[in-house]
Structure 1
Amino acid sequence: MITPPDPLYPHGGPGPVRRFLPRSLLGRSLLIIITPLILMQVISTWVFYDRHYNTITKRLAQGLAGDVAAVTTLLMRDPSVEQHREVFNIARNTMQLRLTLLEGNELPQLARPRVRTVVELRLEDALQERLGLPFVIDARSIEDRVEILVQLPQGVLRVLVTDERLFSSTTYIFISWTIGSSVLLFGIAVIFMRNQVKPIRRLARAAESFGKGREVQDFKPEGATEVRQAAAAFINMRDRIQRQIQQRTEMLAGVSHDLRTPLTRMKLQLEMLTDVPDVKYLQSDVAEMEHMVEGYLAFARGEGQETPAPTDLGVLLRDVVAQMTRDGRAVDLHVEQDLILPLRREGMRRCLTNLIANAQRHGTQVAVRAGRRKHAVEVTVDDDGPGIPPARHEDVFKPFFRLDQSRNPATGGIGLGLTIARDVARSHGGDVALESAPGGGLRVRVWLPV
C-alpha cells in the first residue's frame, strides 16, 4: 500500500532525542544561542551568590553585630539612665539603630522558622561570634525591619535596624542587568535569525513548487553566501531540467510526426492494392504502427508545457468517467468531497483515462474512489480482472513493457499507458503504485500533493 511520505521526514519520524528538539532551523538556531546564554547566566549567578553575595552579606552582618556588641558593652559598663540616653542617641544618629531597654523582662522564646534566609544565618553567626550574650533574631514580624532581642542583666535590649544595614542593592542591580541584557540580546538574535531563515524558506518553497510541476516565478538568490550558492545551484538545475524535458519532448514529437507521413502514404498504397492476397496483413501492421506512433505522441504531450491551474479533481473524474462509459460499460465513481488543487488539466485527464481504460480492458467491474489523505489527494481505481503479480508491479511502468508477449494491441495496447500515467502524476509531485484489490484484481493508487 502506497503512503504519501511526510515531506519533512520522508524516511520516518525523528529519533527519540530529536523528537524533543525544535524541528525548524529558526528554532534550532535560537536553541544554539539560548543554551550557552542560559549556561552563562547560571554560572554567573552561582559565582555571584557563592562569592560576592555571601561575602557582602557576611561583612554587613559582622558590622551590625559589632555595633550591637559595642552598644551592649557600653550599657553594661554604666547602667545609669544618663548613660543609657547618651548611648541610645549615639546609636540612633551614627549606627541607624533604634534601641529600647525593657527593664526586668526575660528573653522570649520565638518559634524558629523552618527556612531561614542567608541574611539571618550570617547575622546569627556574627552575633554568636561577637556578642557573647543570649539573643533572638526576628526578621519576619516587622516589615522592612529586623528585630534583635539581647538579654542584659537589667532586662532585654530591643534593637530595631532597617534592612539597608543587611542587604546590598548590588544584588538587584546584578539580576536586573543580567535578565534585561539577556532579553535584549535574545530579541536581537530572533530578529537576525528570522531574516537569515527567510531566504532558506523561499528556496524550500521554490524547490517544492518545482517538484510539483508548478511555475517558480520571481525567485532570486538572497541571504548569506551559502544560501545564495544553493539558490543559484537550484536555478541552474531547474533550467537544465526544463531544457532537457523540452528537448526530449520536441524530439519525440518530431520523430512521431515524421513517421506519420510515410505511414499515410503506405495506407494509401495498400488501399489501391486489391489483387494482393496478403494485403490485409499489411494493413493490420500499418494500423498497429499508426497506433504506436499515436502512443509516442501522447507520451510526448505528457511532458508538454501545460501550465497548472486550480482544478476540481471531482469534476474532472466525472467527465472522464462519463466519456469512458459511453459504450455502456459501468464505472462506480465516488468522490468524498470537493478536491481543488493545482493540476495540468489535460495531462491529468490523460492519466486518469489511461488508468480507467486499463481497468476496463482487464476487468468487468471498475470502481473509482477519490478523497483527501493527510498531505495528499488519493485516487484509487479497482478492477476485478486477473491482476498483476507483485513481482511485476514496477516492471509494467517501464516504457513499452507488456505482460502479453504477443504484442497484440487489442489485448494490451503498446505498453505506454501506465508509463504516461506515472509520468503525469510525478510531474505533479505525486506518484502511481499498484497493489492487489481487496476483492481480487488490481488496485491502482494515485496520490497528488495538495
Structure 2
Amino acid sequence: MNTPGSQDSFAVRCQRRLTRWVPQSLLGRLSLVMLAGVMLVQFAGNAIWAAQMRSEARTEVRTAAEHLGHSAASSLRYFLSLPVNYRGLVIQQFREMGGTRFFANLTDGPVSMTAFADEELSILALQQVRKVIQQELPAIRQLQVSFAWPQDVRFSQDGTGISDVPDKWVEHILVTRPKPAPVMVIQAELEPGNWLYLATLMPNPYFLNGSDPFSGDRVLLQVLTLLAVFVLSLLVVRWITRPLAALSSAADAFGQGDSVPALPDTGSKEFLNTARAFGLMRERIQRYIEDRERLFVSISHDLRTPIMRLKLRAELLDDEATRSEFHDDLDELDMMVKGALQCVKDSDIHENPTAIRLDALIGRMVRDVKLGGHAIAFEASGIEVVAKPLALKRAISNLLNNALHYGSQVSITVSQSAAYVEIAIRDHGPGVPEQALATLFDPYVRLEHGRQSNQSGMGLGLGIARDIVQAHQGELILQNAAGGGLLACIRLPASAAPDTQA
C-alpha cells in the first residue's frame, strides 16, 4: 500500500528526471515546446487524414469490387449458357481478340495459389466479389476467389504461368511490368469436373498502395516539413530570446558591480519596455547606494567630533566612578563608529585582479605572526590564484586574527582541485556551537567565549571577509573541525577573475 510519503517521493523523483531532460535555457525550452507542438499537430493531422483515407479507400474498394463481381457473374452466366463443347472455342476467340476484361481458362478442378498476405482492403474486395457472385448465381456450388502476384499466378493444374503463355493473351488484361499489380483469380465450378478460371485486375490495380498513409514518399514529405518548421521556429525563437540574453548579461554585470553594457534598442515591444524599466531601476539603485554610502560615511565621520567633546567634558567630572563609566561608554561608542567606517572601507576596495602566489602572500603574514610569539603552521604549495591582492590579504588576515584570538595554535593549508582553490585556516580552540554557526557572519555578533578572548573586537571581521570572498565569486565556509577548533575555508574559482568592484 502506497503511503503519502512514498507518493510524494515518487513525484519528486519524476520531477527531477523531467528537469534533468528539459533544457534549462529559454531558447531550448521554447524550441522544445514548438517542436513538440508541431509534432503533435502533425500526428493528429496525420491520424485524421489516415482515417479519412482508409474510409475512402474502403468505400472505393467496396464499390469497385461490386462492379467487378457483377462483371464476373455475367461472364459466368454466359459460359453457363453455352454448350460444354463450345466453351473452349469461345475462350480461344477471346484470346485471339485480346482486350477482354478477364483471362479465361477451363480446368478440371481448382488451381492452387500461393498464399497472399491478408490486408484489410484485399479481404474486403474478395468478400464483396464473392457476395455479389453468390447473390446473382446461387446455383454455383463451389466458388473460390483469391489474390496472387503475377509471378505466382498459375492458369492450370500443370503449373502454367504468365511467362508460359503468349504475351497477347494477357498484355491487355494483367499488369506484369514495370510494377506488377495484384491479380484477382475467380474459380467457379460450372458442372461437376468443369471449372471456369477467370483472372483480372481491380479497377485501380494499385489499390493496396494507395491506402497506406505512411508510405515512403509521404513520410519523407512529413519529415521535410517538420525540419523546415523546426528550423524556422529555432530562428524565430533565437531572434526573440537574443535581447533577453543581453538583458540577463546586463543584470548580472550590474549585480557584480561591473559596467553595464548598452542594451539593444530593437526587439519586441515587451522587451523594449522591460529594458527601459531595467535602466530606470538600475539608475535608482545606483543613486540609492551612493547616497547611502555617502550618508553612512558622513554620519560615522561626524560622530567622532561630538564623541571627542564628550570625552573632554567627562574629564571635568569630579566623581571618579562616574567619569570612568562615561569613558567606558564613549570608548565603546567610538569603537562602533570605527567599526562602521572600517566596514564601509573594507567593502569598497578598488583593485585590478592579478595572479597572486599564495605562498608569498600567506608566508609574509605567517612570519609576522611568528614574530608576535604565536604558534602557526604553514606549508608551501606553489599554487597561484587570480584575485585582488589587498582585498584577499584583508580577508585572510581577518580570519587569521580570529584564529589567533580564539585558538592556542593555528594551521593554514592551501589545496587545489579542478573547480576551485581552497585556503583552510584552522584554530585549535573550543570551536563554535553548531546552532551558532549560521549567525557568525551577522554584524556585531560575538559569542561569549569570543568576548572573553578578544575584548576589543566588534564582530565585523567575518562579515567583511565573506563579502570580499563573494566578490571574488567564491565562498567562505565555517565549520567545526574534527578534533576541535573552528575551520574557515576560502574557496576561490580556479580559473575565474573576481568582480572589479566588491
Q: TM-score range by the shorter chain?
A: 0.7 to 0.9
1:146 aligns with 2:148: no
Q: Is the 8 A contact 1:74 1:87 kept in 2?
A: no
- What's the CA shift for 1:444? 2.0
Number of the residue aligned with 2:191: none
Map 1:109-120 to 2 at 5 A.
110-111=114-115, 113=117, 116-120=118-122
1:156 aligns with 2:166: no
Number of the residue aligned with 1:366: 411
**Distance in 2, Cα, partners of 1:305 & 1:63:** 91
Alpha carbons of structure 1 residues 415 and 44: separation in structure 2 relative to 1, 3 Å: closer
- What's the CA shift for 1:254? 5.0
**Distance in 1, Cα, partners of 2:475 & 2:265:** 30
Number of the residue aligned with 1:130: 132
**Distance in 2, Cα, partners of 1:226 & 1:358:** 51
**Distance in 2, Cα, partners of 1:323 & 1:304:** 22
**Distance in 2, Cα, partners of 1:177 & 1:297:** 73
Number of the residue aligned with 1:6: none
- 3-state SS of paired residue (1:144): coil
Q: Is the 8 A contact 2:399 2:461 kept in 1?
A: yes
1:50 aligns with 2:86: no
- What's the CA shift for 1:357? 2.4
Number of the residue aligned with 1:349: 393
Picking from 236, 248, 257, the partner of 1:204 is: 248
Map 1:178-327 to 2 at 5 A.
178-220=222-264, 223-253=267-297, 295-304=339-348, 306=350, 309=353, 311-312=354-355, 315-316=357-358, 318-327=360-369
**Distance in 2, Cα, partners of 1:369 & 1:344:** 17
Q: Is the 8 A contact 2:414 2:421 kept in 1?
A: no
* TM value normalised by structure 1: 0.72
Q: Which whole-Å deviations, capped at 9, do the CAs of 1:356-383 have from their partners, x for residues lacking one?
A: 2222332212233444586x66543222
Q: Which whole-Å deviations, capped at 9, do the CAs of 1:280-322 have from their partners, x for residues lacking one?
A: xx9999999998776544422333262663x446x24641343
Larger Rg: 2
1:15 aligns with 2:15: yes
- What's the CA shift for 1:384? 1.1
Q: 5+ residue gaps in structure 1?
A: 1-11, 267-281
Greater CA drift, 353-362 or 36-45:
36-45
Amino acid at match of 1:101: N
**Distance in 1, Cα, partners of 2:465 & 2:121:** 80
Amino acid at match of 1:367: I
Q: 5+ residue gaps in structure 2?
A: 1-11, 80-85, 135-142, 153-178, 189-193, 311-325, 497-502
**Distance in 2, Cα, partners of 1:140 & 1:186:** 44
- 3-state SS of paired residue (2:182): strand
- What's the CA shift for 1:68? 6.1
Number of the residue aligned with 1:398: 442
Q: Is the 8 A contact 1:387 1:436 kept in 2?
A: yes
% same residue: 23
**Distance in 2, Cα, partners of 1:141 & 1:177:** 32
Number of the residue aligned with 2:378: 332
Alpha carbons of structure 1 residues 166 and 13: separation in structure 2 relative to 1, 3 Å: closer
**Distance in 2, Cα, partners of 1:140 & 1:440:** 93
- What's the CA shift for 1:396? 3.5
**Distance in 1, Cα, partners of 2:276 & 2:351:** 24
Alpha carbons of structure 1 residues 233 and 317: separation in structure 2 relative to 1, 3 Å: farther
**Distance in 2, Cα, partners of 1:250 & 1:33:** 51
1:108 aligns with 2:112: yes
Matched residue count: 416
Q: Is the 8 A contact 2:428 2:484 kept in 1?
A: yes
Amino acid at match of 2:198: L
**Distance in 1, Cα, partners of 2:435 & 2:259:** 37
Number of the residue aligned with 1:269: none
Alpha carbons of structure 1 residues 265 and 405: separation in structure 2 relative to 1, 3 Å: farther
Picking from 53, 68, 84, the partner of 2:91 is: 84
- 3-state SS of paired residue (1:385): coil
Alpha carbons of structure 1 residues 418 and 443: separation in structure 2 relative to 1, 3 Å: same
Alpha carbons of structure 1 residues 430 and 245: separation in structure 2 relative to 1, 3 Å: farther
- What's the CA shift for 1:45? 2.4
Number of the residue aligned with 2:313: none
**Distance in 2, Cα, partners of 1:404 & 1:429:** 32
- 3-state SS of paired residue (1:145): coil
- What's the CA shift for 1:197? 1.9
